[in-house]
């Protein structure tokens, strides 16, 4: 399988790295390196250079990795493509160190030019392997070079998965499972000639002459400095290739504007250049993100490069954003989803939003039978729960044919899969955008902040020095920036741009890198960024029924799927694997129990699986939560017949949370939004009690969570609040609060937001359908606004 190390194009632009290199002495060899030990994988990476005045093109490096590490690597230049890559793994007692090169985001291949010499302290022991190497002819390579006299951002990569053939120095390998960057002042990492020459020859210890701490120098670095890229201005810079950003960029480029779409992550589906797929699908141009039936494996795969590793809830950081990792449940919005009563401007209400829903449906129709043969598979749950709901007076409908029918209705789950594969905005809007010469997308490009002169945005600051000087990308005259970084990503960019509540801007101001870059305090724009946040509180009920096929809890679909199902899927994208796990959805309206607010209990997510996911740490936690583990042990049950009903509190939620950043500038919930208002919990409790009210009428149906030792009330009250996350975050830049009716950030001339953060309230169903029609509406408003490019 082709692989790609996901290394960002990144050079130092002012830092903002969680870690900065420090000087340390390796006790095994006495070499003074500059480097880091990453706090998660505990891999150490270090470099030391000869004196600057030597004009040398070599360095000594080391990588020290825990023995369980599949492989570890570095890119001293901080980029994957057209950069020298050094990687190492252990083959028994032998350290296998090699240099590689990639001309694209593909398998890096062995590269001629560098001369690598393993130094004597290279070793494997019971806990670690250590590669200490001299790398000659290593600061200049095809199309690039390393500035050893500057503050730079080297990259590291890590894989928990072994290379394909550890005994083969030229082996292929799968893409990393994690990566990162750190700031390093290479200009300080130069040893004396005496020490360097001693170490390079395999000697140890130091002459006492410490590393030269050359912070200023008159030495010419012309030969090795990064090429300066001329600034290329754009009419529109869109930040984030999630559904909001993709739709915005497509419509803007369709209107003839010069558009740059910047995405911090890498490719996802095969069509976008993604190559991470199961072994059984090799040769079929299918990735994990293409195959709907692999949805549940996103949460169980030890390789999880698709999640934003600096956001404490699940968020997709790759092309497509959340729509490349979500369940793809796709609901046509109701009229109420865009009413003034739900916080939308009158210019969006009373039918004025309908044309945009139609535009979305034209580009992206929904299906409730995604298998290409038109058949439905694994429908036993539909039958059992359908019977249950029939007994409660529900009607069976085609849900998206009747978007406004959301009381006592159920139907087949609807998706935006296309031809049995993940579709969504990536397979539609992005494709048309990419066909235009006035559209450009840059991946692995992280935007830290907008650069502004008071209320006027001038451009964006990125980490990608290939697209602008020091990563800065300017706007054309009258140009505009659109933030589409999602409910967590966009607020962070605003905070780092001096826009938001003062407590968040104070945090940024204390950051040694970004503090000095903030606009003067007199230019701070005080807006409630991060407030008014909602996510559906959700609670799982787990049942068994003898007719159910639990499909091995989806545990085998990645490595060892049922052969007939895999073969059927590969043949024509039909069968069980052409659909994500949900099978049935239902809604029921409730009047307020402790207030007069109508809420809907939507059981969006009916599946054959019982997993709990810690929203805070992005980890799968099995049944580790109050009241659950013992329940599973007190009742005997047949694991092959389990199914789950996840009940969400849908629209009408009155609880609100808050999103902010910590001192490391990581976005996270400051106030969790589930059951914050006392009016919400009783409604969800009532909904759960109603779901099971006639369970006795379904022969063989048994609820195992909660079990018969616990009332539903006890279950709900003990339910771990932090596991109620539904990944449906909205509201952190709510319309009419942070952005105006044209989604322009208030107090600015030319800064806009198009993503889930502008939605003032959760829609009736899982949100990405309503978000995409909102994006259609928002970008049309922007194009219609006078004064643009
Ligand atoms: C696990 C999961 C399951 C879900 N299931 C469903 C479902 O079945 N149905 C449904 O309707 N919804 C579902 N959702 C929610 C849905 O996917 C989101 O509401 C939707 O994706 C939000 O879109 P967005 O454009 O606001 O942001 P996102 O989709 O989050 O996209 C933001 C993009 O911006 C990029 N970005 C962020 N910051 C920066 C930066 N500083 N520089 C450059 N790029 C940046 C990110 O990498 C990302 O690609 C699910 C979400 C998750 C996480």
In angstroms, what CA-CA distances link 533 with 126, 448, 491, 653, 676?
Answer: 49, 22, 11, 11, 11
For residues 345-353, give the mean pLDDT: 96
CA of 308 to the centre of ligand 1 (A): 10
Q: For residue 706, say if its preceding peptide bond is cis, omega within 30 degrees of 0.
A: yes
**Which ligand 1 atom is the nearest neighbour of the CA of 298?**
1
The answer, yes or no, to whether any atom of ligand 1 lies below 6 A from the CB of 583, is: no
Cα gap 408→540, rounded to integer Å: 20
CA of 425 to the centre of ligand 1 (A): 12
For residues 594-622, give the mean pLDDT: 37
> Residue for token digits 């409790």?
685
- Which residues make beta-bridge pairs with 440? 260
Identify the residue with better confidence: 626 or 385.
385
For residues 97-104, give the mean pLDDT: 90
The answer, yes or no, to whether any atom of ligand 1 lies below 6 A from the CB of 755, is: yes
Which of 322, 449, 492, when mutated, tests ligand 1's pocket best, judged by the most ligand atoms within 8 Å of its CB? 322
The answer, yes or no, to whether any atom of ligand 1 lies below 6 A from the CB of 240, is: yes
Per-residue pLDDT, 703: 95
The answer, yes or no, to whether any atom of ligand 1 lies below 6 A from the CB of 36, is: no
For residues 347-373, give the mean pLDDT: 97
Share of the chain above pLDDT 70, in %: 89
Asked if pLDDT for residue 515 goes beyond 50, the answer is: yes
Ranked by mean pLDDT, the top range of 561-565, 591-595, 611-615, 760-764 is: 561-565
Pairing mode, strands 234-239 and 472-483: parallel
CA of 706 to the centre of ligand 1 (A): 32
**Which ligand 1 atom is the nearest neighbour of the CA of 242?**
31
Q: Count other C-beta atoms under 10 Å from residue 411's C-beta.
A: 22
3-state secondary structure of 735: strand
Cα gap 152→515, rounded to integer Å: 19
The answer, yes or no, to whether any atom of ligand 1 lies below 6 A from the CB of 443, is: no
The answer, yes or no, to whether any atom of ligand 1 lies below 6 A from the CB of 262, is: yes
Asked if pLDDT for residue 727 goes beyond 70, the answer is: yes
**Which ligand 1 atom is the nearest neighbour of the CA of 755?**
26
- Which residues make beta-bridge pairs with 25? 32
Which of 485, 487, 581, when mutated, tests ligand 1's pocket best, judged by the most ligand atoms within 8 Å of its CB? 485
Per-residue pLDDT, 17: 47
Per-residue pLDDT, 689: 92
Asked if pLDDT for residue 212 goes beyond 80, the answer is: no
The answer, yes or no, to whether any atom of ligand 1 lies below 6 A from the CB of 249, is: no
> Residue whose CA is closest, atom 49 of ligand 1?
321
Query: pTM for this structure?
Result: 0.75
CA of 289 to the centre of ligand 1 (A): 14
Confidence of residue 480 (pLDDT cuts 50, 70, 90): very high
pLDDT tens string 399-423: 999 998 888 899 999 999 999 999 9
Identify the residue with better confidence: 142 or 318.
318
Confidence of residue 1 (pLDDT cuts 50, 70, 90): very low
Which of 758, 768, 776, when mutated, tests ligand 1's pocket best, judged by the most ligand atoms within 8 Å of its CB? 768
- Which residues make beta-bridge pairs with 369? none
Q: What residue spans of 428-561 are helical by DSSP H?
A: 429-434, 486-496, 502-510
Per-residue pLDDT, 683: 86
Per-residue pLDDT, 345: 98
Per-residue pLDDT, 463: 86
CA of 315 to the centre of ligand 1 (A): 6
The answer, yes or no, to whether any atom of ligand 1 lies below 6 A from the CB of 73, is: no
HSE of 450 in the Cβ direction (CA atoms, 13 Å)?
36
**Which ligand 1 atom is the nearest neighbour of the CA of 265?**
47
Integer-rounded Cα radius of gyration of the chain: 27
Share of the chain above pLDDT 90, in %: 62
Per-residue pLDDT, 599: 58
> Residue whose CA is closest, atom 13 of ligand 1?
326
For residues 610-638, give the mean pLDDT: 35
The answer, yes or no, to whether any atom of ligand 1 lies below 6 A from the CB of 775, is: no
- Which residues make beta-bridge pairs with 585? 411
Asked if pLDDT for residue 330 goes beyond 70, the answer is: yes
Cα gap 320→39, rounded to integer Å: 29
**Which ligand 1 atom is the nearest neighbour of the CA of 768?**
11
- Catalytic positions, please? 728
CA of 316 to the centre of ligand 1 (A): 5
Among residues 423, 396, 391, the alpha carbon closest in space to that of 412 is found at: 396
The answer, yes or no, to whether any atom of ligand 1 lies below 6 A from the CB of 134, is: no
Per-residue pLDDT, 39: 75
Cα gap 291→566, rounded to integer Å: 11
> Residue whose CA is closest, atom 8 of ligand 1?
327
Per-residue pLDDT, 227: 44
CA of 362 to the centre of ligand 1 (A): 22
Confidence of residue 592 (pLDDT cuts 50, 70, 90): low
CA of 358 to the centre of ligand 1 (A): 22
The answer, yes or no, to whether any atom of ligand 1 lies below 6 A from the CB of 479, is: no
Give per-residue burial for 430-450: e unless 16+ CB within 10 Å, then b: beebbebebbbbbbbbbbbbb
Cα gap 43→35, rounded to integer Å: 10
CA of 563 to the centre of ligand 1 (A): 33
Mean pLDDT of the chain: 86
> Residue whose CA is closest, atom 45 of ligand 1?
240
For residues 84-99, give the mean pLDDT: 93
The answer, yes or no, to whether any atom of ligand 1 lies below 6 A from the CB of 329, is: yes
Contact (CB, 8 A) for 394 and 586: yes
Cα gap 133→117, rounded to integer Å: 5
The answer, yes or no, to whether any atom of ligand 1 lies below 6 A from the CB of 426, is: no
Confidence of residue 136 (pLDDT cuts 50, 70, 90): confident
**Which ligand 1 atom is the nearest neighbour of the CA of 766?**
11
Identify the residue with better confidence: 670 or 299.
670
> Residue whose CA is closest, atom 17 of ligand 1?
322
The answer, yes or no, to whether any atom of ligand 1 lies below 6 A from the CB of 672, is: no
Per-residue pLDDT, 407: 85
**Which ligand 1 atom is the nearest neighbour of the CA of 447?**
42
Among residues 470, 459, 476, 466, the alpha carbon closest in space to that of 442 is found at: 466
CA of 52 to the centre of ligand 1 (A): 46
Q: Among 122-136, 211-225, 428-442, name the one with the lowest average pLDDT.
A: 211-225
pLDDT tens string 639-666: 899 888 888 888 888 899 999 999 999 9
> Residue whose CA is closest, atom 41 of ligand 1?
447
CA of 153 to the centre of ligand 1 (A): 27
Per-residue pLDDT, 183: 77
The answer, yes or no, to whether any atom of ligand 1 lies below 6 A from the CB of 242, is: yes
The answer, yes or no, to whether any atom of ligand 1 lies below 6 A from the CB of 759, is: no
**Which ligand 1 atom is the nearest neighbour of the CA of 775?**
25
CA of 664 to the centre of ligand 1 (A): 22
């Amino acid at each position: 399988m082709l692989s790609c190390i996901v290394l960002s194009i990144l050079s130092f632009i002012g830092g903002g790295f969680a870690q900065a290199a420090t000087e340390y002495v390796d006790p095994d060899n006495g070499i003074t390196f500059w480097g880091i030990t990453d706090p998660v994988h505990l891999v150490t990476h270090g470099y030391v250079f000869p004196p600057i005045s030597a004009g040398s093109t070599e360095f000594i490096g080391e990588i020290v990795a825990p023995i369980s590490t599949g492989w570890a690597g570095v890119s001293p230049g901080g980029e994957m493509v057209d950069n020298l890559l050094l990687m190492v793994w252990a083959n028994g007692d032998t350290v296998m160190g090699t240099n590689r090169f990639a001309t694209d985001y593909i398998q890096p291949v062995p590269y001629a030019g560098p001369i690598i010499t393993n130094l004597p302290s290279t070793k494997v022991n019971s806990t670690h392997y250590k590669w200490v190497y001299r790398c000659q002819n290593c600061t200049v390579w095809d199309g690039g070079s390393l500035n050893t006299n500057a503050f730079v951002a080297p990259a590291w990569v890590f894989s928990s998965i072994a290379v394909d053939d550890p005994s083969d120095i030229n082996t292929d390998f799968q893409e990393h499972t994690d990566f990162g960057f750190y700031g390093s002042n290479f200009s300080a990492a130069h040893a004396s000639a005496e020490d360097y020459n001693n170490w390079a020859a395999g000697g140890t210890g130091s002459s006492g002459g410490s590393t030269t701490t050359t912070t200023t120098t008159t030495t010419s670095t012309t030969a090795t400095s990064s090429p300066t890229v001329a600034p290329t201005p754009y009419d529109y810079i869109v930040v984030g290739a999630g559904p909001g950003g993709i739709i915005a960029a497509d419509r803007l480029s369709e209107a003839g504007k010069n558009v740059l779409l910047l995405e911090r992550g890498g490719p996802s589906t095969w069509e976008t250049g993604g190559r991470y797929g199961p072994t059984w699908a090799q040769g079929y141009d299918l990735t994990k993100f293409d195959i709907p039936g692999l949805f549940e494996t996103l949460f169980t795969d030890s390789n999880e490069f698709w999640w934003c590793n600096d956001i404490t809830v699940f968020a997709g950081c790759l092309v497509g954003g959340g729509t490349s990792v979500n369940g793809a449940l796709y609901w046509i919005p109701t009229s109420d989803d865009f009413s003034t009563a739900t916080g939308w401007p009158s210019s969006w209400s009373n039918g004025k939003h309908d044309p945009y829903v139609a535009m979305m449906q034209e580009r992206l129709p929904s299906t409730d039978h995604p298998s290409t043969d038109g058949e439905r598979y694994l429908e036993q749950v539909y039958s059992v729960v359908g019977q249950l709901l029939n007994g409660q007076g529900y009607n069976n409908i085609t849900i998206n044919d009747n978007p406004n029918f959301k009381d006592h209705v159920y139907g087949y789950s609807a998706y935006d899969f296309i031809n049995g594969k993940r579709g969504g905005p990536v397979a539609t809007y992005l494709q048309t955008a990419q066909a235009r010469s006035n559209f450009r997308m840059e991946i692995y490009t992280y935007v830290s902040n907008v650069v502004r002169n008071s209320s006027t945005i001038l451009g964006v600051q990125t980490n990608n020095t290939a697209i602008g000087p020091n990563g800065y990308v300017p706007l054309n005259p009258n140009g505009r920036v659109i933030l589409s970084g999602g409910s967590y990503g966009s607020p962070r960019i605003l905070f780092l741009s001096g826009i938001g509540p003062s407590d968040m801007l104070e945090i940024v101001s204390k950051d040694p890198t970004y503090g000095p870059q903030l606009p003067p305090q007199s230019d701070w724009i005080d807006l409630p960024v991060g407030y008014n946040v909602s996510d559906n509180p959700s609670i799982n009920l787990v049942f068994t029924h003898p007719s159910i096929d639990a499909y091995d809890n989806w545990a085998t679909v990645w490595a060892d799927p049922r052969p007939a199902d895999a073969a059927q899927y590969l043949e024509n994208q039909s069968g069980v694997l052409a659909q994500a796990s949900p099978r049935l959805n239902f809604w029921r309206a409730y009047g307020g129990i402790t207030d007069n607010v109508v809420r809907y209990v939507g059981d969006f997510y009916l599946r054959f699986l019982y997993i709990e996911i810690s929203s805070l740490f992005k980890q799968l936690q099995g049944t580790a939560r109050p009241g659950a583990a013992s329940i599973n042990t007190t009742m005997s049950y047949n694991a092959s017949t389990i199914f789950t009903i996840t009940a969400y509190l849908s629209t009408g939620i009155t609880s609100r949370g808050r999103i902010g950043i910590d001192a490391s500038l990581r976005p996270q919930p400051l106030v969790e939004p589930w059951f914050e208002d006392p009016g919400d919990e009783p409604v969800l409790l009532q909904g759960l009690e109603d779901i099971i009210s006639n369970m006795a009428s379904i022969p063989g149906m048994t609820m195992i969570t909660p079990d018969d030792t616990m009332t539903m009330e006890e279950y709900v009250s003990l339910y771990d609040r932090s596991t109620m996350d539904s990944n449906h975050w909205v509201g952190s830049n709510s319309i009419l609060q942070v952005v105006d009716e044209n989604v322009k950030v208030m107090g600015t001339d030319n800064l806009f937001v198009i993503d889930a953060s502008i939605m003032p309230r959760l829609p009736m169903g899982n949100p990405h359908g309503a978000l995409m029609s909102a994006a259609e509406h928002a970008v049309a408003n922007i194009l219609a606004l006078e004064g643009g490019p």
